[in-house]
A and B are shown apart, each in its own frame.
Chain A
Amino acid sequence: MVCAVAAHAQGNYEIQVYGADTVAPRSTMVELHSNFTAEGHPAMDGVAATNHAEHETVEITQGINDWSEVGFYIFTSEQSGLGVEWVGDHIRPRVRVPERWRWPVGVSLSTEVGYQRAIFSPDTWTWEIRPIIDKTTGRWYFAVNPALERTWHGPDVNLGIDFSPAVKISYDFTKQITGGLEYYADYGSITNIASLHNQQQQFFPAIDLNVSPKWEINFGVGVGPTSATDHWIVKGIVGRHFDWGKKKQ
Chain B
Amino acid sequence: MKPTIQMRPEGNVRDSTASRRAFLRNTSLAAGALMARGPLAWTQTMPGASLPPAEPAVRPNATLEISEIEWELAPKKEIRTTAYNGQIPGPLLRVTEGKPVSIEIVNRLDREEIVHWHGQWIPVPVDGAMEEGSPMIPAGGKTLIRFSPKPAGLHWYHTHAMANHDLKRGLYSGQFGVLHVDPASGDPGRYDQEQFIVLHDWEPYYTASDDGSMMVSYACGSVNGRMLGHGEPIRVREGERVLFQILNASATEAHWLALPGHKFQVLAMDGAPVATQATAETLRLGPAERITALVTMNTPSVWVLGEPRKDFRDAGVGVVIEYAERSGKPQEPGTEKLAWNYRIFGDAMPLARVPDLTIPLVFTSRFKGHGALDEWMINGKSWPHTDSIVLHEGLRHRLVFDNRSTDDHPVHLHRHNFELVSVGGATTSGVHKDVVIVEAGTKVAVDVLATNPGDTLFHCHQQDHMDMGFMALFRYAQVIKA
Contacts and interface: CB of A to CB of B under 8 A. Distances in A.
A195 to B, nearest CB: 38
Given A140-B371, A175-B367, A178-B370, A210 B208 contact: no
A191 B67 CA distance: 56
Nearest to A208: B370
A141 B372 CA distance: 11
B367 to A, nearest CB: 4
Contacts of A100: 203, 205, 217-219
A99 B207 contact: yes
Contact of A139 (B256, B338, B372): B372
Contact of A175 (B212, B218, B219, B338): B212
Contact of A213 (B210, B256, B309, B338): B210
Nearest to A176: B212
Contacts of B217: 99-100
B166 interface: no
B188 interface: no
A189 B12 CA distance: 80
A210 B370 contact: yes
Interface residues of B, number: 22
Contacts of A137: 369, 371-372
A172 B338 contact: no
Interface in A138-171: 138-141
A100 B212 CA distance: 19
A248 B309 contact: yes
A194 to B, nearest CB: 36
A138 B368 contact: yes
Contacts of A99: 205, 207, 217
A172 to B, nearest CB: 5
B187 interface: no
Contacts of B212: 175, 210, 213
Contacts of A123: none
B309 A136 contact: no
A138 B372 contact: yes
B311 interface: yes
B433 to A, nearest CB: 21
Contacts of A135: 371
Nearest to A135: B371
Of B338, B367, B370, B372, the most chain A CB neighbours within 10 A belong to B370
Nearest to B312: A248
Given A99-B205, A174-B367, A249 B372 contact: no
Nearest to A98: B219
Nearest to B256: A249
A202 B208 CA distance: 29
B325 interface: no
A140 to B, nearest CB: 7
Contacts of A140: 369, 371
Contacts of B256: 249
B78 interface: no
Interface string A8-31: 000000000000010000000000
Interface in A79-112: 99-102
B210 A139 contact: no
B211 interface: yes
Interface in B278-323: 309, 311
A125 B369 CA distance: 41
A21 B208 contact: yes
Interface string A60-94: 00000000000000000000000000000000000
Closest 7 CB pairs of A and B: A136-B371, A139-B369, A100-B219, A175-B367, A102-B205, A138-B369, A213-B210
